[in-house]
């Protein structure tokens, strides 16, 4: 009996050691691959946390020691984060009010973050910048504007933000814009206003192609997804969305769209938010890996990437609690049989290819003039918007005022005759 017990203990110890060695082997391999190709994450809301917690007073913050966020410099280093699209996000409540100002302030805080920590961050706007930052052992820092309400239906504002370094625009957030429907339309909780994109929305897609700005389809309705996939000359991204077949949440991407993303050479960057991973409040790292597996199965390893949504969500999977934990997921993909090339594609090569294709489209369209046809005034008319620049709108206002005055003349005449 004693011999059996000893043998059983040894066997259990041997199995445990074998599992540990296999895990160590996968992690060693994961870190090696991450040293060869930059991990590019599509969406991180640290700038919004800087707004919420410190009102963008960056001088009062030390990103080396900050503990109230999923992201700080130590976690970035541990997570081998090669490149990050920082989100310039402002809420839908700013639409028709001060969305442009607040978005510009979020763009500004990303610039200042890079200036304050130049040894960690390199402000970047191109595929080549990402590789240059990676070679210098810094995190390439790009900007994505999250929500079309941030441009206030203005192509001039879109271009200005591009000149400030913005390299993607998420067409909607969780509200319709005057030119595009958001994902809540698919839940039935909001009505469709445009059956996808309005005419101006289609203009915007062409102008984004001309600029060389990535079109982000996270947060849009399925109709918008399909319309953009048909319209855009350049591949698109989903900066932080997961697979609908694994978790049927309307923020996720259905299989037919995944196949179209493959056909158009785009990318779906997997979101880690529990509610989009398992459609519940709890999730594990392996559940996130299920989304990677599914997207690879349906659309191929060439369309998958990382889009953690750190600092933009309240619940994260066990094993992926902050930015430092991403190598665990890379090791899990290797454990599941992903090849080195497939993992390198997901880490960064897919996004680099998409960016290069977008840059090629920009180069091919360089002779085309900027679109300067504004959105029709009736589509954006509200109390917070003036009509300057719209032909005849001012004249109409003047005629209305004159008509009002004339309508008051008879009353004034009556009052004079009575008194």
How many Å apart are CA 251 and CA 241, to the nearest integer? 6
Name the catalytic one among 41, 43, 149, 290: 43
Domain membership of residue 3 (yes or no) is: no
Domain membership of residue 2 (yes or no) is: no
pLDDT on residue 394: 58
**For this structure, is 249 an active site residue?**
no
pLDDT on residue 416: 39
pLDDT on residue 73: 98
pLDDT on residue 275: 98
Residue 264 and residue 350 in one domain: yes
The Cα-based distances of 227 to 57, 152, 221, 257, 411 in angstroms read 41, 21, 10, 11, 56
How many Å apart are CA 182 and CA 194, to the nearest integer? 10
* Position with higher pLDDT, 140 vs 4: 140
pLDDT on residue 281: 98
Name the catalytic one among 149, 173, 194, 291: 173
Is the pLDDT assigned to residue 250 strictly greater than 70?
Answer: yes
Name the catalytic one among 70, 219, 249, 291: 219
Is the pLDDT assigned to residue 16 strictly greater than 70?
Answer: no
Long-range CB contacts for residues 138-141, cutoff 8 Å, separation at least 24 = 139/76, 139/81, 139/82, 139/83, 139/84, 140/38, 140/40, 140/82, 140/83, 140/84, 141/83, 141/84, 141/86, 141/110, 141/113, 141/114
Percent of the chain with pLDDT over 90: 87
pLDDT on residue 283: 98
- Within 10 angstroms of residue 180's Cβ, the number of other Cβ atoms is 28
pLDDT on residue 391: 85
Is the pLDDT assigned to residue 413 strictly greater than 70?
Answer: no
Domain membership of residue 281 (yes or no) is: yes
DSSP H or E segment with residue 222: helix 222-231
CATH of the domain at 246: 3.20.20.140
pLDDT on residue 244: 98
Give the residues across from 141 on adjacent strands: 84, 123
Is the pLDDT assigned to residue 2 strictly greater than 90?
Answer: no
Name the catalytic one among 181, 309, 342, 345: 309
| CB half-sphere exposure, 119, CA atoms < 13 A | 5
How many Å apart are CA 165 and CA 125, to the nearest integer? 6
**For this structure, is 163 an active site residue?**
no
**For this structure, is 111 an active site residue?**
no
When pLDDT is averaged across residues 121-136 and rounded to a whole number, the result is 98
How many domains is the chain partitioned into structurally?
2
Residue 177 and residue 322 in one domain: yes
The owner of tokens 């599509």 is 42
Residue 259 and residue 350 in one domain: yes
Residues 6+ apart with CB under 8 A from 191: 185
Residue 26 and residue 94 in one domain: yes
Of 162, 256, 169, 259, the C-alpha closest to 205 is 169
Domain membership of residue 175 (yes or no) is: yes
Number of alpha helices (DSSP H) and beta strands (DSSP E) in the chain? 15, 9
How many Å apart are CA 132 and CA 152, to the nearest integer? 34
**For this structure, is 43 an active site residue?**
yes
Name the catalytic one among 41, 129, 146, 216: 146
**For this structure, is 240 an active site residue?**
yes
DSSP 166-205: EEEEES-SSS-BTTB-BGGGGGTSS--SSSSB-HHHHHHH
Residue-averaged pLDDT of the chain: 92
Residue 178 and residue 244 in one domain: yes
Q: Of 187-191, 277-281, 410-414, which range is least confident?
A: 410-414
When pLDDT is averaged across residues 218-241 and rounded to a whole number, the result is 98
Is the pLDDT assigned to residue 353 strictly greater than 80?
Answer: yes
Residue 181 and residue 83 in one domain: yes
pLDDT on residue 4: 58
* Position with higher pLDDT, 414 vs 78: 78
Of 132, 20, 2, 345, the C-alpha closest to 121 is 132
pLDDT on residue 158: 98
Residue 315 and residue 408 in one domain: no
How many Å apart are CA 245 and CA 253, to the nearest integer? 8
Residue 163 and residue 238 in one domain: yes
Residue 373 and residue 396 in one domain: no
pLDDT on residue 222: 98
Is the pLDDT assigned to residue 17 strictly greater than 60?
Answer: no
Domain membership of residue 6 (yes or no) is: no
- Give the domain extent around 238: 21-377
pLDDT on residue 393: 78
When pLDDT is averaged across residues 369-392 and rounded to a whole number, the result is 94
Residue 243 near residue 252 (C-beta atoms within 8 A): yes
**For this structure, is 256 an active site residue?**
no
Q: pTM for this structure? A: 0.90
Residue 228 and residue 322 in one domain: yes
Quickly state the pLDDT bin for 104 (edges 50, 70, 90). Answer: very high
Residues 6+ apart with CB under 8 A from 320: 272, 285, 288, 308, 326, 328, 329
Burial of 182 per CB tally in 10 Å (0-12, 13-18, 19+): buried
Is the pLDDT assigned to residue 22 strictly greater than 70?
Answer: no
Residue 70 and residue 216 in one domain: yes
Domain membership of residue 14 (yes or no) is: no
* Position with higher pLDDT, 406 vs 325: 325
Quickly state the pLDDT bin for 414 (edges 50, 70, 90). Answer: very low
Domain membership of residue 386 (yes or no) is: no
- Over residues 390-401, the pLDDT tens digits come to 987 754 444 444
Residue 401 and residue 267 in one domain: no
Domain membership of residue 7 (yes or no) is: no
**For this structure, is 372 an active site residue?**
no
């Amino acid at each position: 009996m004693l011999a059996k017990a000893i043998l059983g203990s040894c066997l259990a110890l041997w199995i445990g050691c074998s599992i540990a060695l296999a895990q160590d082997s996968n992690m060693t391999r994961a870190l090696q691959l991450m040293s060869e190709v930059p991990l590019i994450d599509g969406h991180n809301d640290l700038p919004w946390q800087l707004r919420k917690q410190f009102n963008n007073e960056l001088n009062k913050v030390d990103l080396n020691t900050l503990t109230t966020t999923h992201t700080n410099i130590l976690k970035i280093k541990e997570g081998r984060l090669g490149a990050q699209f920082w989100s310039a996000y402002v809420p839908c409540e700013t639409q028709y009010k001060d969305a442009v100002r607040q978005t510009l302030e979020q763009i500004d805080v990303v610039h200042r973050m890079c200036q304050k920590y130049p040894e960690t961050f390199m402000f970047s706007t191109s595929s080549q910048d990402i590789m240059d930052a990676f070679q210098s052992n810094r995190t390439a820092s790009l900007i994505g504007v999250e929500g079309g309400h941030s441009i206030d239906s203005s192509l001039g504002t879109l271009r200005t933000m591009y000149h400030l370094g913005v390299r993607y625009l998420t067409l909607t957030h969780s509200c319709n814009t005057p030119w595009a429907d958001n994902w809540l339309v698919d839940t039935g909780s909001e009505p469709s206003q445009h059956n996808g994109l309005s005419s101006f929305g289609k203009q915007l897609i062409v102008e984004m192609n001309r600029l060389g700005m990535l079109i982000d389809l996270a947060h849009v309705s399925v109709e918008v997804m399909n319309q953009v996939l048909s319209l855009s000359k350049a591949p698109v991204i989903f900066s932080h969305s997961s697979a609908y077949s694994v978790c049927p949440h309307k923020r996720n991407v259905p299989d037919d769209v995944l196949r179209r993303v493959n056909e158009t050479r785009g990318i779906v960057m997997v979101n880690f938010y529990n509610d989009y991973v398992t459609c519940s409040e709890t999730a594990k790292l392996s559940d996130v890996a299920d989304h990677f597996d599914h997207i690879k199965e349906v659309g191929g390893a060439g369309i998958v990437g990382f889009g953690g949504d750190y600092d933009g969500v309240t619940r994260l999977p066990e094993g992926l609690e902050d930015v430092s934990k991403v190598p665990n997921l890379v090791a899990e993909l290797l454990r599941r049989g992903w090849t080195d090339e497939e993992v390198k594609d997901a880490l960064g090569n897919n996004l680099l290819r998409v960016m290069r294709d977008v840059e090629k489209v920009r180069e091919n369209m360089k002779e085309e003039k900027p679109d300067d046809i504004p959105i029709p005034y009736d589509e954006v008319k509200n109390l917070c918007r003036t009509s300057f620049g719209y032909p005849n709108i001012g004249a109409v206002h003047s005629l209305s005022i004159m008509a009002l005055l004339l309508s008051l003349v008879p009353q004034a005449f009556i009052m004079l005759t009575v008194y």
